[in-house]
Amino acid sequence: MKDEDRIVWLNGAFMPIIQASISPLDRGFLYGDGVFETIRGEYGMPLYLSNHVARMMNAADALNISITDEIKWGFILSQLIRENNFEQKVSRIKVIVTRGVQHGLDLRETDTPTILAYVNSYTVPEKKYRNGWKLHIIRDSAAPRMAKYKTLNYLYYLYVRQQAIAEGADEALILDRNEEATETATGSLLFRTNGIWWTPDSEHQLPGIARSQVISILKEGGEDVEQRSANLEAVLSAETVWVTNSMIGVMPIVEISGYPVKEPLFDRATEIRDEFIIRGRRDPLSTTLSLIK
């Protein structure tokens, strides 16, 4: 499908993308004043939709952006997938909410946010699943204080990811001001040391939906999962390192800034990833139910 043939949902209506119009004074355009979610579409269904909507609503509330709780997200996104002929494919769904048009520099609540949803194709990274990712440690920049919200101010993450790619890696490993790992540019971190799984104990990270689900799967399988300080010594001595996010599920890591990871556990990652996808299809908001805030 060509971009110009795509159907989007904007402020309550489905329309061809070439007819979609947003004010040049929209604060999302002017300041990155908004929030977003990226959701995996799996053969007609948006996975973990209730989790994504809850996280988006929480971020919007924190930033004083008003989103009505009457929006039927399950119906809208499922219909969006059908309108764009992705029922038999894996897709990437993006939901964006901005403060809309509002003058001044304060974060006053507005009754007219701009709400956009669109979908495009997604290529499952099968080769990377088999070979793993390399991470590059970003040492000259600290994790943003607002990292727990998925905001449109995303340039920091794109910038550090590009730094990592320039160093021959696949993804950036982000540190806080104490030089402790928090997350990656696009995902959450899971480590295994001496047989115990653990995740960074940091407020400077997005509450990862995939990470939370993977932790639940591990615990149900009898594994212990802890929160720990992720200093570089602990990170580089971990036997296993995984990155999780809603699109890739679980990605094994094979190297961190030249230090090899001993046991990527490729087969185990595949099992967890498959279970992650299966559970995502059970989400109640993937039907036509509306959100009850």
Tens digits of residue pLDDT in 145-160: 899 999 999 999 999 9
Residue 193: its H or E element: strand 188-193
Q: How many CA atoms lie within 13 A of 82 on its CB side?
A: 7
Token digits of residue 148: 């727990």
Cβ–Cβ < 8 Å for 46, 286: yes
Question: Can you tell me the mean pLDDT for 42-70?
Answer: 95
Structure letter (DSSP) for residue 289: P
Instruction: Return the CA Rg of the chain.
Output: 19
Give the C-alpha separation, 128 to 82, whole Å: 29
SS3 content of the chain, % helix, strand, coil (to 5): 30, 30, 40
> 3-class DSSP state for residue 225?
strand
CATH architecture of 3-123: 2-Layer Sandwich (3.30)
Prediction pTM value? 0.94
Cβ–Cβ < 8 Å for 255, 131: no
Token digits of residue 101: 């048009």
3-123 and 127-279 have identical folds: no
- β pairing state of 7-10 and 34-42: unpaired
% of the chain with per-residue pLDDT over 70: 97
User: Alpha helices, DSSP H only, in the chain?
Assistant: 27-31, 49-62, 73-83, 126-131, 155-166, 209-220, 232-237, 266-280
In total, the chain counts a number of residues equal to: 293
Q: What is the pLDDT of residues 211-233, one digit of tens each?
A: 999 999 999 999 999 999 999 99
Give the C-alpha separation, 205 to 176, whole Å: 10
Q: What is the pLDDT of residues 218-274, one digit of tens each?
A: 999 999 999 999 999 999 999 999 999 999 999 999 999 999 999 999 999 999 999
Q: What is the pLDDT of residues 128-148, one digit of tens each?
A: 999 999 999 999 888 888 999
Whether pLDDT at 287 is above 60: no
Question: Which residue reads 């997005």 in tokens?
Answer: 206
Give the C-alpha separation, 178 to 187, whole Å: 20
Token digits of residue 80: 């969006």
Give the C-alpha separation, 225 to 89, whole Å: 33
Cβ–Cβ < 8 Å for 123, 91: no
147 φ, ψ to 5°?
A: -60, -20
pLDDT at position 286, please? 62
pLDDT at position 283, please? 80
**What are the extents of the domains in the chain?**
3-123, 127-279
Whether pLDDT at 291 is above 90: no
Top-level CATH class of 127-279? alpha beta
Token digits of residue 145: 């204080």
